[in-house]
Amino acid sequence: MASRRMETKPVITCLKTLLVVYSFVFWITGAILLAVGLWGKFMLGAYISIIADSSTNAPYVLIGTGTCIIVFGLFGCFATCRGSPWMLKLYAMFLSLIFLAELVAGISGFVFRHEIKGTFQRTFSEAVKNYNSQDERSLAVDNVQRSLKCCGVLNYTSWLSSIWFPNNGIPPSCCASISDCNASDLRNVTIAPSKVHQQGCYELVTDFIETNMGIIAGVTFGIAVSQSIGMLLACCLSRLITANQYEMV
């Protein structure tokens, strides 16, 4: 029995080393997920706010998950160094929950990426039609038009049917050059087309969101796969330590 304990001790030491290294890498992935979630929230926020009825919680899930991983990554290192079976089991359980959360976030982002084309044209058209330059959707429309250098849904003619156009013309956010674009020009149907961006926002926005939601989903799936390694190491180490303690009794 003593010889068996001597045989399992190097295995336990090896698993401890691997799990400490894994926990450190796990902590880094938490920081990455937090960064990706914040990036998704602030970079895609304007676009997602326009599509309220199809918005995704993936960025918020990633922010919460990343924060939890940072905390529990430290807990994993502590549990491994202590060699406590119940702490290791708790760590393995947490890894499984994180795996599920990341899987949900990844699937959510991937599905949203493909649903966007079917909903954006309708919701963006409504935002343009009811534009008032003040509410959240109107500000989001301005943000999209400025950042992507586009105008209207398919082109600038989308603004001709908006409630904003009769008194104010096309919004300044459509202007190709602010220095060569004044309010009277934007109200003139003949002059305005030569002053604003010619390309509509629909195609640009859908391409932009599909690409970036794909990045979020890809990073999430990649990190989720790594959770299985940590769960396996934590479970094996817990069982070996428990068996070793039992043999010592």
Average predicted confidence (pLDDT) for the chain = 79
Among 100-109, 117-126, 224-233, 235-244, the range scoring the smallest mean pLDDT is 100-109
For residue range 143-192, what is the model confidence (pLDDT) as tens digits?
A: 888 888 999 998 999 999 999 998 889 999 999 888 888 888 888 888 88
Angle separating helix axes 136-148 and 201-248, nearest 10 degrees = 100
Q: What is the pLDDT of residue 207?
A: 78
For residue range 5-56, what is the model confidence (pLDDT) as tens digits?
A: 445 677 778 888 888 888 888 888 788 878 877 877 776 666 666 655 444 5
Pairwise pLDDT comparison (100 vs 191), residue with the higher score: 191
Q: What is the pLDDT of residue 57?
A: 62
Percentage of the chain exceeding pLDDT 90: 9
Q: Three-state SS across the chain? A: CHHHHHHHHHHHHHHHHHHHHHHHHHHHHHHHHHHHHHHHHHHHHHHHHHCHHHCCCHHHHHHHHHHHHHHHHHHHHHHHHHCCHHHHHHHHHHHHHHHHHHHHHHHHHHHHHHHHHHHHHHHHHHHHHCCCCCCHHHHHHHHHHHHHCCCCCCCHHHHHHCCCHHHHCCCHHHECCHHHCCHHHHHCCCCHHHCECCCCHHHHHHHHHHHHHHHHHHHHHHHHHHHHHHHHHHHHHHHHHHHHHHHHC
Among 131-140, 159-168, 216-225, the range scoring the smallest mean pLDDT is 216-225
Residue 2 confidence (pLDDT) above 50 = no
Residue 1 confidence (pLDDT) above 50 = no
Residue 234 confidence (pLDDT) above 90 = no
Q: What is the pLDDT of residue 246?
A: 56
Q: What is the pLDDT of residue 45?
A: 63
Question: How would residue 247 be classed by pLDDT, with cut points 50, 70 and 90?
Answer: low
Average pLDDT over residues 110-138: 79
Q: Provide the whole-model pTM.
A: 0.56
CB 22 within 8 A of CB 77: no
Q: What is the pLDDT of residue 164?
A: 92
For residue range 86-97, what is the model confidence (pLDDT) as tens digits?
A: 888 888 888 888
CA angle 191/154/217 to nearest 5° reads 140
* Separation CA 140–CA 142 (nearest Å): 5
